[in-house]
Structure 1
Amino acid sequence: MAIEIIRYAEKNLDPGEKIVYQTHIHWIVLIKPLLLIATGLIVMSYSGPINWSALKASPVETFFSNPFMLLSPAGASVALQGALFLVKRLLLVITTEITVTSRRIIWKTGLIWRHTDEMQRMRIEGSGLAGQSWLGQLLNYGTVRVKGISSHDLVLSHAINPKRLRHFIAKLSAQAQGGTRAAPRQKAPPKTKANTIPTLNSEIDDRSEDT
């Protein structure tokens, strides 16, 4: 998992750009599909064994003798959906990377069809924790929202160690703001006696012309 992240980031760095911090999605996203699979298996267990020969011979009597038999296909359907959902979430955990470099923030996911999003440090207006539940605080995961200037927001959901991620994003934004500050205006050099002589001579000439 870490090898995949490092290889992708290194291949897409600009000249002079360095990786500052990397993280990925927490395994908590696998809980929902696992619960679906467990629910489907529990429902299937309540249906009991199905006598297929008796069901073909006398479906009505077989049904009334064991009405819970309908739970078997329903449970199997739920378990199958949970399994497909689990595969999708596994690919999400394995292929998603969140990278903070010295110039930008990169979000990438996908194995065959890759989806990427990024935000340059000059576009970062601010960042913060969008929400971290008690479970997120316990397991150290959360969602970091990066607000962009005249652009879309970058939402990094279920990120591992979100406080540390936000720290490096804030540091990147501070570096960008420090580099774009206007240089202080230089004071004009004081006038010397040499500069004042032409002015005095011109005033004397003007007075002589008036007389």
Structure 2
Amino acid sequence: MNYIEQNLQPGEEIKYVAKLHFFLFVQPVILLLIGALLASSPKEISAMTHYAGLLILFFGLVSLVQRLLVKTGSSYAVTNKRVVLKTGIISRCAVDLILAKCEGLHIRQSVLGRIFNFGTITVTTGGVTSSYPYIADPLAFRREVNTQIG
């Protein structure tokens, strides 16, 4: 949240802050569980299953670290003047969309997204399209943008 607070303009105040949904971590957790199950099989019974489990465990760990970095480096907020979307820790991608020039804000939710209340927000501005997946309660985000537009 530090990035957004540091880049507020005079008279600008934060109206809504979006969070990333816990569903972001489902895939790495499944990989870690499957990998741990397969890797725990004794080598004497099936060496191939054991090593495949270690490989899946490795991919699960890499995926978990990558998604932790995504969670740490992402900030999404609506202020009374603009929409601020920032991703990245080392390299940064930031979109500041002035509310008056908001062209499009699309929300895509799968069946699981509707059940668990998360989705992908796609922002369209000046022909540039940016997508931000695993946003918790994306309809509240859109509702706040529409409220601020007037």
Deviations 1:114-135 (A, max 9, x none): 3322222233123232x21232
Partner of residue 116 from structure 2, selected from 139, 158, 165: 139
The residue number in structure 1 matching 2:100 is: 122
1:117 and 1:109 mapped to 2: Cα distance? 9
Matching of residue 107 in structure 1 with residue 102 in structure 2: no
Question: How does the TM-score come out when normalised to structure 1?
Answer: 0.64
The residue number in structure 2 matching 1:153 is: 129
Question: How does the TM-score come out when normalised to structure 2?
Answer: 0.87
Count of aligned pairs between the two proteins: 150
Higher relative contact order (CA 8 A, sep 6+): 2
The residue number in structure 2 matching 1:58 is: none
Partner amino acid, structure 2, of 1:72: H
> 1:80-99, aligned counterparts within 5 Å?
80-99=58-77
Residues 26 and 93 in structure 1, CA contact (< 8 A), matched pair in contact too: no
Unaligned runs of 5+ in 1: 51-65, 176-211
- Aligned identity (percent) is 28
Structure of higher CA gyration radius: 1
Unaligned runs of 5+ in 2: none
The residue number in structure 2 matching 1:167 is: 143
1:27 and 1:110 mapped to 2: Cα distance? 18
Secondary structure of 1:76 counterpart: helix
If each structure's helix is expressed as a fraction of its own residues, which one has the higher value?
Answer: 1
Following TM superposition, the consecutive aligned residue runs of length 4 or more in structure 1 with deviations greater than 6 angstroms are: none
Deviations 1:172-201 (A, max 9, x none): 3x34xxxxxxxxxxxxxxxxxxxxxxxxxx
Deviations 1:29-59 (A, max 9, x none): 111111111121222234x145xxxxxxxxx
If each structure's strand is expressed as a fraction of its own residues, which one has the higher value?
Answer: 2
2:121 and 2:37 mapped to 1: Cα distance? 36
